[in-house]
Each structure stands twice: as structure tokens, then as C-alpha cells.
Amino acid sequence: MTKVKIVETAFRDAHQSLIATRMRTEDMLPVAEKMDKVGYYALEVWGGATFDTCLRFLNEDPWDRLRALRKAFKNTKLQMLLRGQNLLGYKHYPDDVVEEFIRLSIKNGIDIIRIFDALNDLRNLETSVKATKKYGGLAQGAISYTVSPVHNIDYYVNVAKGMAEMGVDSICIKDMSGILLPYTAYELVSEIKKVIDLPLEIHSHFTSGIANQTYLKAIEAGADIIDTAISPLGNGTSQPATEPMIASLEGSSYYPDIDFDLILEISDYFRGLRNKYEKEGLLDNKVLSVDVNTLKYQVPGGMLSNLVSQLKAQGKEDKYEEVLIEIPKVREDLGFPPLVTPMSQMVGTQALFNVLSSERYKMVPNEVKNYVKGLYGKPAVPIKDEIKKIIIGEEKIYEGRPADLLEPELDKYRNEIKQYIEQEEDVLSYALFPQVAMNFFKQRMASKYKIETDLLNEEDKTYPV
């Protein structure tokens, strides 16, 4: 038995889950010094949707945020979430882009990179794991957890073995929908621990109301690390709240080496922050309640809220239940992919189209077509021939590693934005989110040189940088 370690998610997944990733860097820094003294194993501070949101909505440079947090946290590891070959975007990027992104992430302050693939296709993790190790980071392989006729204990143990053979430093069971049941967690952790001698972390969401019990059983089975969120940003569609989770371990040998009184002080700060964001209209009460439908439909909280907004925009809110019922059917048609980015968006959108159209698969997004063609990787279950024919006709399925089809692109991106580059990291921002990053660069330049932003659209004009 060992003392469990705590990863605090307040600066990434917690606010991504509850307030649409809108926490600002200026609200993080005042409490950083106290958080650095708590004794957390790590703080998840970057990756996921934070990068896009900084540029798109907050007018912040995500690289500046990372550097500021690294400066503030002198004693605690900083962790990020990476979508394997998708990095932080929604498509596969060439290997040169993946390697450079990881190099700069580590250079700017990341210690641990949690790397997952939406299909658990290990080929999509290879480049990220190698690059993380090459540049001195700790590579964590994350298993995307879901439930289906083929996603059983043996399946996950084999995925974990593959990650260990790849050279990861630790493994995470990533339960993005909050559907990992307590006794299943006990069995899964026990079986993985029998064959792999690596730290094992559990990440879940409180969406269905069972994650606390799941964590306890996982810890009893040998899980080394759990992800929690400080209580004002915990529970709901976020992680289990940190304080009660730690308190529940009191009197056991698992109780962490952590300053609980200091956590209570930090909680007061976040309570004020939550009140501020509530007044700004960023916290919807829907994300705070337990939704047992999650256990039935396996739909993550963020996916649910996205579906609601899509239906509202079309005046079709009455179709919500129909779409929920359609999601598992589409998921089965597509080979039971885990509902995590980008697969959750694909399955959700296709289910929406199927319900709103007069017939199923009458409208199919290009991303779904590319997935069926094999351009995202290999599903756990082969897609049935009749479904493939409906979606892509007689087009050929690609069986190789999807990124092998991609040519190096770093030099191309660098050339396209050469007049806007102020730091080497800008090339990566542009590679991941071209339009959003370009808008950010123009605003930055306009502010710096007191130029009207509209003038920066003139193709034939350059400015000093």
C-alpha cells in the first residue's frame, strides 16, 4: 500500500468542463504560490481546449500562459493533455509538427505530457511518446475508456501493455464520460498492475455521480494517482472535488502527503473566482448536476452541452432525446469509438444529422467520411461493409498509420506567417489553428505598432517585427 498522489485539474480540465475553458491567466497567478506549497504530485495546466480558447476568446498567448505558470510553480510538476497525432486540434498533423510542438511545450515548462488517441490506436501515439522522451519530458500513455461488446478488461490490459512496450513513464485510465464503475475499476486496475510495473493514474468526471466510489476502489486495487478538482470547480461534469476525496482517505494508509489546511485556504480563493465567473454568465447550472443518462448513452458532459446548443440554434430542442437515442446507434455503426475528441464531435454531429434529415446518413460530414476511410486510425471493431458503402461508396480504406500520408509542413507554415513571427512558438500556434492564430497575430501587431487592424489585411504591406 502506498500513499496516493493528487493531480489538481483546476487550471485545465476543471474550468474546461464547467466554464467553457474561460479561466484567465490573471486569475490563476494570484493563488499559484499557495498551490505550489500544497504537495500536489502535479498540476494539469495546459492542453485540451485551453490553447484554442486562449487565442480565440481570451486574446491571450497560450505560450505566455505556460511560461508564467512555470515561473510561478517552482516545486510542482506541470502537466498537459495531448491528443497524440492530433496534438490540440481535430486532425492529424505531420510528424515534424508533432515533434516541434512537444519540444517547445517542454522547453516552456511542461514536465508531464498525457498522450491519448481517441481510438486507442497506438500507432497514433508513437511520435508523441518518442518526442516527449527525446526532449526530457515524462510521457504518460492515456487509455480512452469506453464500454462496448469489445472494450473489456482484456482489451484495456493489452492497450496498457502496448503503451508500456512503447516506453511510457506512466499510464492513465482516462474515463472522459464518467462511466467507469467502481468494481470494474477495481478489476481493471488489478489486472493492469499484475502485468505492468508503472505508476497508474485514474482520471474521471463526476457527470454520472459515481467517480468518487470509482476512485476509492481503484486506489484499493493499487492506483497510484488520482485527478481531482478543487471543490468550487469540482463535481458536475468536472473531476471529483479534491477536499472530500482527500478527506475520505483519512485514517487509511493511502492518505496523501498533502497540506489539507492550505487546500482549504485555496478553496476560498476559487470560491470567489467561481462567483465572478457565475456573474459573467460562464457557469451554467446544467453542468453542475448529476446526469444518469451518461451511464446509458456514454455521452461526455461537454458533448451534451454542445448538442443542446446545436439544436437550439436550429429551433429543434424537442429532438434532444431522439439525438441521444441515435448516438449509441451511430457509435455502433462506426465501430464503437470512444466518445472523446475528435470522435465525440463526429458521432454527435452525425447523430444530429441522422435525426434532422429524412434518412440516416443522407448527410455525412467530411470528417466522418475520412474516419471511415481509415484516416484517423483503426476502430476497435471493423465497420460493416454496408455502412462503409453508404458513407464512402467504393472508396478504398487506408490501413496504414494515418500520419504516414502527411508530408512535413513546418517550413511551409513558417513561410506563410513570416511577417508575423515574434517567437518560434508562433509557427505552432498557426499550424494548429491557422485562422484563429492569424487573427491573434494581427491584433497583437496592431496593438504593438498602433496600426489599425484592418490595414493588416492588405496583402502587399509588411510591418517591422
Reported as a single tens digit per residue, the pLDDT across 394-424 is 999 999 999 999 999 999 999 999 999 999 9
The pLDDT > 90 percentage for the chain reads: 83
pLDDT of res. 459: 43
Q: Answer for the pair 453, 436: CB distance below 8 angstroms, yes or no.
A: no
Nearest to 53 by CA among 13, 95, 99: 13
Please report whether residue 290 resides in a domain.
no
Out of 285, 317, 341, pick the residue that ends a domain. Answer: 285
Mean pLDDT, residues 261-282 = 95
Q: Give the pLDDT confidence of 442-457 residue by residue, as tens digits.
A: 999 998 877 655 555 5
Who contacts 37 (Cβ-Cβ below 8 Å, separation ≥6)?
75, 259, 262
Which own/partner pairs from 355-364 qualify as long-range (CB within 8 Å, at least 24 positions apart)?
355/319, 355/322, 355/323, 355/326, 356/314, 356/316, 356/319, 361/387, 361/390, 361/391, 364/391
In the listed set 285, 318, 351, which residue is the last one of a domain according to the structure?
Answer: 285
What pLDDT does 301 receive?
65
Q: Which tens digits make up the pLDDT trace of 300-337?
A: 766 776 777 788 888 888 898 899 899 999 999 999 99
pLDDT number for residue 117:
97
- Of all residues in the chain, what percent carry a pLDDT higher than 70? 96
Mean pLDDT on 13-21: 92
What is the domain-level CATH number for residue 304?
1.10.472.90
pLDDT higher than threshold 50 for residue 464: no
Tell whether 176 and 133 lie within a shared domain.
yes
Predicted pLDDT at 463: 31
**pLDDT of 37:** 98
Answer yes or no: do 394 and 419 share one domain: no
Residues 202 and 313 in one domain: no
Q: Model's pTM, two decimal places?
A: 0.93
Q: Give the residue-averaged pLDDT of 10-28.
A: 95
Q: Is residue 465 part of a domain?
A: no
Q: Which of 360, 377, 400 is the last residue of a domain?
A: 400
Range of the structural domain that residue 372 is part of: 299-400
Kindly state whether residues 81 and 177 are assigned to the same domain: yes
Domain co-membership, 252 together with 362: no
Number of domains in the chain: 3
> Quick one: 269 and 129 in the same domain?
yes
Is the pLDDT at 72 greater than 70? The verdict is yes
Domain co-membership, 59 together with 100:
yes
pLDDT in tens, 105-124: 999 999 999 999 999 999 99
Q: What is the residue-averaged pLDDT of the chain?
A: 93
Is 197 part of a structural domain of the chain? Answer: yes
